[in-house]
A and B are shown apart, each in its own frame.
Chain A
């Protein structure tokens, strides 16, 4: 009797282990159909950036004002898309003199070019929860390809959160002022909150 009980316990444990192994794989398929749809980028998102400087440290900041939409395709992730606009006038670094420098015609020239836009051209899934987003970034009237890595952080019925990172060469947009003291590479670190629309 004691043997039968322990055999049952063993079987149950094995079944549980198998279940835990299978569920994530199923969850992936479920996730895609679950999250498919159109989203509006919510203002609770965070568009952070960092530019390294020689000798260590650098400038870090974020953009307070932005907007965008993205669509996640159910069956074919490659048919998903994103359009994003940010307003360089809203740049924030905690240092007013640096901000006015960034807004000036030395960098963004936000008077003449009030928006920076990104339009995806290709989205490639790289794992169950990550994807590479290739697209065209337009800033200061210049368009050049840019690439970002997105990973799914969280989602529920009506909302989804991605962590997005990417490196942008600012020289391609006529913004190479201050190089090589300040790196040509702008590192973006973004948390994108999407609200189902």
Chain B
């Protein structure tokens, strides 16, 4: 179907939600790799530059996530596919809640590292915007605390994000519902699947 909707409706995600989801997902994965590599390189100059990219993209995630939450509040949420049990729904919603939380907590703890470090390296996002430090205590101990917090929260959110991805694949390949497709914007296929699903989940006694 050629129609492109901006806003969500009860069946599908609009283009804005879809873009928020995939752009943030892509930056998130990039940030995990960057964060992992930048603390393991022995090339100081490269390390400095990787840190600056990591900080810039971190602030990008924070800004995009702020807008994304506002957009989500102003839009309907497509309903869960039929055929999901109570625990399944609960797990999905808890995971989504945690991922939203991570989109704020992980960048904020990263910002706290830059702010509390005695090195006081300025944050100049994409060499365009100077971002002031958070008003935090400056010491090696404070920096170490925020570094550990940032790393654990990042690994934890990577774990939840992996579960989220596996769940999406499970929906697509096992349950054959429209969960993944509707986030990819394949409305027509999603629609067909939703239709088929409604037939499948129709009361058995009616079919027999």
Which of B44, B48, B127, B132 makes the CB contact (< 8 A) with A55? B132
28 residue pairs A–B, Cβ–Cβ below 8 Å = A53-B122, A54-B122, A54-B124, A54-B130, A55-B124, A55-B130, A55-B132, A57-B120, A95-B119, A97-B119, A98-B119, A101-B48, A105-B43, A105-B45, A106-B43, A106-B48, A107-B44, A177-B44, A177-B45, A177-B48, A177-B49, A178-B48, A180-B124, A180-B127, A181-B52, A181-B122, A181-B124, A181-B127
A171 on the B face (CB < 8 A): no
List A contacts of B132 (CB < 8 A). Answer: 55
Q: How far is the CA of A105 from the CA of B43 in the complex (A)?
A: 8
Instruction: Determine the distance from Cα of A97 to Cα of B49 in the docked complex, in whole angstroms.
Output: 16
Residues of B within 8 A of A181 (CB): 52, 121-122, 124, 127
When distances are taken between beta carbons in the complex, the residues of chain A under 8 Å from B43 are 105-106
Q: Contacts of B44 on A, CB cut-off 8 Å?
A: 101, 104-107, 177
Residues in chain A near residue B118, CB distance under 8 A:
95
B113-152 contacts to A (CB < 8 Å):
118-122, 124, 127, 130, 132
A111 smallest CB distance to B (angstroms): 12
Instruction: Find A106's partner among B45, B119, B124, B127 (CB 8 Å cutoff).
Output: B45
| Residue count of chain B within 8 Å CB distance of chain A | 15
**Cβ–Cβ < 8 Å partners of A180 in chain B:** 124, 127
Q: How far is the CB of A94 from chain B (nearest CB, A)?
A: 9
Residue of A nearest to B52 (CB): A181
Alpha-carbon distance A190/B43, docked complex (angstroms): 31
B residues within 8 A CB of A107? 44
Residues of B within 8 A of A53 (CB): 121-122
Assembled-state Cα–Cα distance A178/B118 (Å) = 17
In the bound assembly, the distance between CA atoms of A98 and B119 in angstroms comes to: 7
The 5 closest A-B pairs by CB, nearest first: A106-B44, A106-B45, A104-B44, A177-B45, A55-B130
Closest approach, in angstroms, between the C-beta of B103 and any C-beta of chain A?
26
The distance from the CB of A106 to the nearest CB of chain B, in whole angstroms, is 4
- B127: which A residues are within 8 A, CB to CB? 180-181
Further 8 A-B residue pairs, CB within 8 A, beyond A54-B122, A177-B49, A178-B48? A53-B122, A55-B124, A57-B120, A97-B119, A105-B45, A106-B45, A177-B48, A181-B127
